[in-house]
Amino acid sequence: MEEDEALAKAIAASLEDQKGPGEASAASSTPPALSLEEKEALAKQKLEEIKRNKEEEERKLDRERERDRVRFGKEMVAQKRVLEDQERQRLADFRKREKEEQKRAKQAVLEQIARDKAERQSGAKKAEPAESSEAQRQAEAKRKQRENDSVFGVKPVTIQNNIRDLLVQIKKSYPEEKSAICFKTLNVYCKNLLRVPAEAKFRSINSANKAFVQRVACLEGGEGPQILGLVGFEMDPETRVYEMRDEKLSKLVVEAALKELNNAMTNPFFGSL
- The residue among 152 and 210 whose pLDDT is bigger is 210
- Please state whether the predicted TM-score (pTM) of the whole model is above 0.85: no
The residue segments making up the domain with residue 220 are 142-266
Any domain includes 28: no
Is the distance from CB of 156 to CB of 250 less than 8 angstroms? yes
pLDDT in tens, 34-58: 888 888 888 899 999 999 999 999 9
Any domain includes 189: yes
Any domain includes 93: no
pLDDT in tens, 189-217: 999 999 999 899 999 999 999 999 999 99
| Number of domains observed in the structure of the chain | 1
- Give the Cα separation of 53 and 227 in Å (integer): 105
pLDDT of residue 167: 95
User: Edge-to-edge, what's the strand order for the sheet holding 241-244?
Assistant: 204-206, 241-244, 233-236
Any domain includes 3: no
Any domain includes 218: yes
- Give the Cα separation of 120 and 125 in Å (integer): 8
Q: Give me the sign of the Cα torsion angle 142, 147, 153, 157.
A: positive
Any domain includes 152: yes
SS3 percent helix, strand, coil of the chain, rounded to 5, is: 80, 5, 15
**CATH number, residue 160:** 1.20.58.2190
Any domain includes 202: yes
pLDDT of residue 26: 46
Any domain includes 206: yes
pLDDT in tens, 157-201: 788 999 999 999 999 999 999 999 999 999 999 999 999 998 999
